[in-house]
Structure 1
Amino acid sequence: MRLIYLPAILTKRLGYFEQQGLDVDVVTEPAGVNAEDELIAGAVQGVVGFYDHTIDLQSKGTDVESLVQFASAPGEVELVSSARAADIKSPADFKGQSIGVTGLGSSTDFLTRYLTQKFGLQRDDYRLLPVDAGKTFIDAMRHRRIVAGMTTDPTASELLSSDQAKVLIDLRTEASTREALGGIYPAGCLYMRAAWVDAHPDEARKLTHAFVKTLRYIHTHSAEQIVDQLPRSYYEKRKALYVAAFKAFQPTFSVDGRMPDSGPRTVLAILSAIDPSVQATDVDLSKTYTTAFLDTPGGK
């Protein structure tokens, strides 16, 4: 499980959904774009994914909104294979190369395209290869199917700790995100179709309160205590590495689930820079997130 989405399974394991009277199934998808597709198809009611999908979907005619924001940084890192680190010093050196992302249309896709554009490349100067995360990402880099790629922890920490990769651009802290992207980039969140939220305000409120309770738990317990709540399959024989990676990202999690004031504008600017359909659409940022349920009492 990628650390950026850990509040989903943690809320389930802590019993906070049940405390709110909710019966919630947590279904894992390899990339955010897959979960987005499931939402549009009506197979799921909500997605724990990146906030940028709310803007992307609105530009395509589908209104979705973030109900609770998990973090003010993407938690992503652009890695380069150690075997190629001598000649690939920045995204400017990606020309003619295959670059890994979790999925085409995913947030790693969005951010990679923005960073390469920022460093002077055009979209046809390099190839994006969807390699998911975890073992498939590691194998793609190990077997040289990709020379670089964007992923999250614990995948990034595993590659770095084994010296199979080096950091090119780190988006795992608020400070490094500001430096790379020009502002805060709100990332992980719970987003749902606006029509479903309007029709089910009580369930939306309960979901919001359950997740906020988890965010408070994250800030009042140690990384070791939090990882102990997770299924062993999440870290297998790498528990120490998982704990260390979580401890580093822990301060970036929100304490109250609120959207950072300047965050939506930063995300819109980045998506507009890489996607003509977003640029051409009069996106209403006020419809991409809501604090209504954060401000509504009644959470248990």
Structure 2
Amino acid sequence: MSPGRRNHAGAAVVAVLALMLALVGCTGRAGGDAATVRIGVGGQPLLAYLPATLADRLGYYKDEGLDVRLEDLQAGSKALQALQGGSVDVVSGYYDHTIQMQAKGRELTSFVNMLRYPSVVLAVSPKASRPINSIADLQGAKVGVTAPGSSTDFFLKYLLVRSGLKADAASVAGIGGGSTAVAAMENGQVDAAVMVDPSFSLLTKRAGADKVRILSDTRNAEGVRDGFGVTTYPASVLYSSKKWLKDNEGTTRKLAKAMTRTLRWIEQHSVEEIADRMPEQYANGDRQVYVDAIAHAKSAYNPDGRVHEDGANEVLTVLSQFQPDVAEAKIELSKTYTNDYLP
């Protein structure tokens, strides 16, 4: 080959390599793994999803070489829709959606379990339109949930069925999980609501604890035993599609490592230290209420990130009681969660 041709061939190789590097930089992929990850959160200020934000605030995603983009989608059902539509890669949502979607023929898999108790509270509004002293009294009542089809909605339907009512015995209203939920309860827009902290703690502070009747509280082990008969019930998790996990095994392991580091950090630090790391606006102007809410939630965070089989089975049992498609489907629980990516 002549010198001119060799120079031309060398220049072509350099150009091809430059193009490949540029493409890797634009797509954020190298060896099939995404360096940029979009995580849809089912209500970022809610304590159920605190670890997703805290991992970012502690710098643990960056430690793993990941560029994580957290997107607050305000409800678990909306985060699920975003995953299905391709606008996020991973969801910080509740585990029960992985079972629900398998019944519809779509495989989603949880790979880190952040919350081992549901940590939701069914409470009566201080301005309810009528006396409500038990779950049975919710017949015909208007009950708030974060959004229809969300895990708070599932929880309400389970409690209604367990109390001998039909799953649709109460009318459901989507009230969000933050300040809108507090306002809906304060103003009597709903008779009761399934709430998540810090919103529930803020409501009790503003209305008075003696004015807010609790019908079910799953923020601790005792409440989970009373409600479900088990000691662990996988709640908020990180989940994604089977395809995304397969295409991004390295990234998934890095996310799992960052999250388990965060869960251990929560276990080893005080509620005040945890509050200090979180965005100030999440306290809704009342830091002490926020600190107290974290204190209620702290034992629910799952330090090892694992889903346990008995807990997964209980979630399936619960969903089967009010979702005919789940009850009739042959659910393979082993496909709805995995502990294989955990460090």
Please tell me whether Structure 1 or Structure 2 has the larger radius of gyration of its CA atoms: 2
1:77-116 alignment to 2 at 5 Å?
A: 77-84=121-128, 87-116=131-160
Q: In 1, Cα distance between the equivalents of 2:156 and 2:284? A: 29
Asked whether the 8 Å contact 1:78–1:151 carries over to 2, the reply is yes
Q: How many residues align?
A: 295
1:276 matched to 2:320: no
Task: Spell out, residue by residue over 1:276-297, the C-alpha distance to the aligned partner (whole angstroms, 9 max, x if none).
Answer: 00011101000011111115xx
Q: In 1, Cα distance between the equivalents of 2:175 and 2:212? A: 16
Asked whether the 8 Å contact 1:77–1:151 carries over to 2, the reply is yes
1:37 matched to 2:72: no
Q: In 2, Cα distance between the equivalents of 1:86 and 1:101? A: 19
Q: In 2, Cα distance between the equivalents of 1:201 and 1:131? A: 37
When normalised by structure 2's length, the TM-score is: 0.84
Stretch deviating more after TM superposition (115-124 or 144-153): 115-124
Q: In 1, Cα distance between the equivalents of 2:66 and 2:318? A: 36
Q: In 1, Cα distance between the equivalents of 2:264 and 2:112? A: 13
Unmatched runs of 5 consecutive residues or more in structure 1: 296-300
Equivalent residue in structure 2 for 1:173, among 204, 220, 237: 220
Pairwise CA distance, 1:86: 8.0
1:244-255 alignment to 2 at 5 Å?
A: 244-255=292-303
Moved over 3 A (4+): 83-86
**1:66 match: secondary structure:** strand
Q: Percentage identity across aligned positions?
A: 37
Match of 1:288 in 2: 336
Asked whether the 8 Å contact 1:72–1:260 carries over to 2, the reply is no
1:22 matched to 2:66: yes
When normalised by structure 1's length, the TM-score is: 0.95
Pairwise CA distance, 1:138: 1.5
**2:298 match: secondary structure:** helix
1:212 matched to 2:256: no
Pairwise CA distance, 1:85: 9.8
Q: In 2, Cα distance between the equivalents of 1:35 and 1:284? A: 23
1:163-242 alignment to 2 at 5 Å?
A: 163=208, 165-183=212-230, 184-242=232-290
Asked whether the 8 Å contact 1:160–1:166 carries over to 2, the reply is no
Asked whether the 8 Å contact 2:103–2:331 carries over to 1, the reply is yes
| Greater length-normalized contact order (CA 8 Å, ≥ 6 residues apart) | 1
Amino acid at match of 1:256: D
**2:48 match: secondary structure:** helix
Q: In 2, Cα distance between the equivalents of 1:237 and 1:125? A: 36
Amino acid at match of 1:87: P
**2:194 match: secondary structure:** strand
